[in-house]
Amino acid sequence: MQPVSRRQFLAVATTTATVGLAGGCSLIPTRSQPVRASSPAVAAAETRRRRPGARVHQLTLTATTAGLDLAGRQVTAWAYNHTVPGPLLRVRAGEALRVQLDNQLPEATTIHWHGIRLRNDMDGVPDMTQPPIQPGSRFTYEFTVPDPGTYFFHPHVRLQLDRGLYAALLVDGPAEPGGYDQEAVVVLDDWTLGVGPTPEQLHARLMRQGGMTNMDGGMGMMGQGGSGELGGTGGMIDYPLYLLNGHPPTDPARIAGKPGQRLRLRVVNAAADTAFRLALGGHRLTVTHTDGFPVAPRTVDTVLVGMGERCDVLLTLGDGAFPLVALAEGKRGQAVGIVRTARGSPPAADAHPGELDGRLAAMATLGPDPQRTLPTARPDRTHQLLLSGGMMGPHWTINGRTFDQAEPLPVRAGERVRLVFGNQSMMFHPMHLHGHTFQVQQGSRPGPRKDTVIVRPMQQLAVDLEADNPGQWMVHCHNLYHQEAGMMTTLSYLH
Ligand code: C2O
Ligand code: CU
C-alpha cells in the first residue's frame, strides 16, 4: 500500500466534500492537487502568451493617501499616483505590463487587474496568488495582456477599493473596430470617505444591523422603491456622493468634442455598492462592447452598468452642451458630467435627461459577437453557485459558506465549464470571475462574453467558460460589502 502524505490526504478530503456538495459533477481522481500560482503550469501559460520581442510597458504606481477636492470640500482619499481615478494605462493586445507598485499606504495592499486573462501569480489576491505588499515595500507586476478592451484595476484587500484606489486600463487591438474620431473614459464611483462614514464604519454597521438594512444616521434612508431593472433594492448604502471621473455633480467632469464627431465612451463602474444607469442628454448610444469584448451592436437611450462591469458605447455628437448623467440605480443621487461641442452652461446637479427613462440595455441581455463566441460544446463540468444572505444575518454566502469556509470549485485545464448562479437572496449580485471571460447563456443561446454579470433576485443564470488559464481564481460578488461579508469562492484548477 502506498503511504498517503498529509497533503494528499487533505486534497482527498477536500475533493470528496466538493463533489458531495456540488452533486452530479464528474469525479476527480483522488490524487488531485491544486495548480497554485507558483506552479510551473502558470509560468508555462505566460510563456505561450508572450510573443518574442513583445513590447514591455514599464511604469511605477504609488499607492498613497492624497488630497481630493470635491467641489470645494477637501477630503483625504487613497489613490494611485495622487489622482482619483488613478492614471490611465494603455497598451496594445499582446504587449506586456511591468508595473512596480510602491505601497505608501498605512496598510498592506495588492493590485488586481480586473478582467485580464493574465498569469495567476500576478492576479493580486492576497495570500492566494501573492503575499500582501506591506506598507513601505514594493512589488512588481509583470504580465502579458492578451485581449483588447476596456478594463480596470484596484486592490483586492478589504475595503480599499471604496477609498479611491482604481483606474482604467485600455487595451487596443488590431482588429478592434474603429469608426470613431474621439474617445473618453468614464469612471463611475460611489463616494463616502471624508463626507460620510468611512467604508470600515459602513461595513461595521452592516455587520451589526445584519443583512439588508437601510442605512441611516446622518445619511438619510435609502431611496424609495428600489429598481425594476435590478429586481429589488438598488444597494445597501445610500452614498452621500456619486463621482464621474473623480468629480461630484456640482463640479462636473468635462468631455469636449466637435459637432458631428463620433465619440466612443468607455464606461467603467468602479463603485462598491451602486449600479448606474447612464445616458447622455439628446443622444442615443450604440453599445459595442461589454467587459472589453465586442457584442452585437445595439442602439438604445440608456445603459445599466453594475459594479465591476464595463460598457463601451458609440454616439454622434450634437451641437451644444449635454448632461452625461449616471443615475444611482434604485437609490437617490447621481453622478454628472458634461459633454460639450459648443459653449453652454453646465448641467444642473440634478439634471434628468429623458433618455434615462427610454430604451435601456442591461449588459447581460446584449447579443454575442459571432467572432468572439465560444465554439458550441457541452460542458464537461457544471458547478452550481447558490447566492444567499441578507435575511438571517450579516453574512453573504456562496453555497451556504463564507469565503473562509468555502469549498473550492474544482476544474481541469481544457475543460468546458459551466457555472450556474442561483440567486436566492433579495438583492442583485454582480458576479465576477478572475482570469477568464465567460459566455453568458441566454436560455439555450449564447449571450455576450463577460467577466462580471448581474444576477437578479431569484434569477438562475448560467455562464460557460473554457478552462484555459491554470491557477486559483476568485469568483465573487463585486458588491464590495458582500465580498467583504463572505460572498467569494475559488475556481480551482487541479493537476
Ligand atoms: Cu474587480 Cu476580484 O475583482
Ligand atoms: Cu452581492
pLDDT bin (cut points 50, 70, 90) of residue 176 is: confident
* Count of CA atoms in the C-beta half-sphere (13 A) of 389: 31
Task: Report the relative pairing of strands 334-340 and 253-256 from DSSP bridges.
Answer: parallel
- Say if CB 181 and CB 341 are below 8 A apart: no
Higher pLDDT, 82 or 9: 82
Distance 478 CA to ligand 1 centre (A): 6
Q: Can you read off the three cell numbers belonging to residue 37?
A: 500560482
Instruction: State the distance from the centre of ligand 1 to the C-alpha of 28, rounded, in angstroms.
Output: 28
Q: What percent of the chain has pLDDT over 90?
A: 87
Task: Kindly give the distance from the C-alpha atom of residue 33 to the centroid of ligand 2, in angstroms, as a whole number.
Answer: 30
Across all residues in the chain, what is the average pLDDT?
92
E strands, 345-471, in order: 360-362, 367-368, 381-389, 396-398, 409-411, 416-423, 429-433, 438-442, 445-450, 452-455, 460-466
For 243-290, write each residue's pLDDT tens digit: 999 999 999 999 999 999 999 999 999 999 999 999 999 999 999 999
Closest to 361 in 3D by CA, of 276, 401, 302: 302
- Residue 353 has a pLDDT of 98
Query: Taking CB atoms and a 6 Å cutoff, what residues make up the pocket around ligand 1?
Result: 112, 114, 154, 156, 308, 432, 434, 474, 476, 478
pLDDT band at 28 (very low <50, low <70, confident <90, very high): low
Question: Hey, which residues does 311 pair with through a beta bridge?
Answer: 267, 290
For residue 111, the ligand closest to its alpha carbon is 1
The pLDDT-based confidence of 344 (bands split at 50, 70, 90) is: confident
**Dihedral sign, Cα of residue 47, residue 268, residue 409, residue 463:** negative
Q: Whose CA is nearest to atom 1 of ligand 1?
A: 114
DSSP classification of residue 427 = B
Enumerate residues with CB within 5 Å of ligand 2 (an ion): 429, 477, 479, 482
Indicate which atom in ligand 1 lies nearest the CA of residue 152.
1
User: What is the pLDDT, as a whole number, of residue 392?
Assistant: 78
Could you identify the atom of ligand 1 that is nearest to the CA of residue 114? 1
Ligand nearest to the CA of 481: 2
Q: Whose CA is nearest to atom 3 of ligand 1?
A: 114
Ligand nearest to the CA of 270: 1
**How remote is the CA of residue 226 from the centroid of ligand 1, in Å?**
25
